[in-house]
Amino acid sequence: MNDEAAVDVDENPFSTRFVRPGAIDYLFPGNENLELLVMRWREAGLRGEIVGPHGSGKSTLLTALQARLTAEGWRTFRCDLHDGQRSLPSGWLQGRCGEPRAVIAIDGYEQLSRWQRSRVLAGCQRRGCGLVVTAHATVGLPTLWTTRVDPARAEALFRRLTATAPAFVTVHDLHVSLLCHPTDLRSVWFELYDLYEQRRRARSAER
């Protein structure tokens, strides 16, 4: 976890600012890492998709990949799409694709219509800029990574988040929540946030 996201003992360790993409790490299994992800992206012609269920870490991984590409001298431009957003903001792509060593990063790419996706691909190819997107299922680009919620890695993140916080929630609580949300770590953090607040209020009332 980034230093700026160190948890104050008076704050809920599952607050948005501690678990949002960029504040919390994406933990790879085994020997996988960002360097290998970038290598796959290069080998795929500077194109690629990160796919996985809602809340499984796609946005977190995209943020980490952006930082890695920036460190290598690329200029990344990101657009986060939300439910029902079928097109990019007017002029957004054209104003960025012409930049040298540009990489277009689109979170929620499946929101775009087929015609909009074809425009993005054509624009990136014509101007020679890179493209990396996230989606819940494949959108026809080379798959760089498929995100999954792994209980062991979720526990490692939990321990980082709660390292300096009062023990209002436990690892057992984490695994109970994972049983309810086995593919959605974001919902697990939301649930633990509420549980943390409930127990903190109950502890205060006892004093």
Cβ count within 10 A of residue 44: 17
Looking at domain 34-146, its CATH superfamily turns out to be P-loop containing nucleotide triphosphate hydrolases (3.40.50.300)
User: Domain map of the chain by residue range?
Assistant: 34-146, 150-200
Report residue 183 as tokens. 């593919």
Q: Is the pLDDT of residue 198 over 70?
A: yes
With bands split at pLDDT 50, 70 and 90, how would you rate the model's confidence at 8? low
State the average pLDDT for the chain: 92
pTM given for the model: 0.90
- Give the pLDDT confidence score for residue 10 in this predicted structure: 77
- What CA–CA distance (Å, rounded) separates 49 from 140? 8
Mean pLDDT of 76-88: 90
With bands split at pLDDT 50, 70 and 90, how would you rate the model's confidence at 97? confident
Structure confidence by residue, pLDDT tens digits, 113-155: 999 999 999 999 999 999 999 999 999 999 999 999 999 999 9
Structure confidence by residue, pLDDT tens digits, 44-54: 999 999 999 99
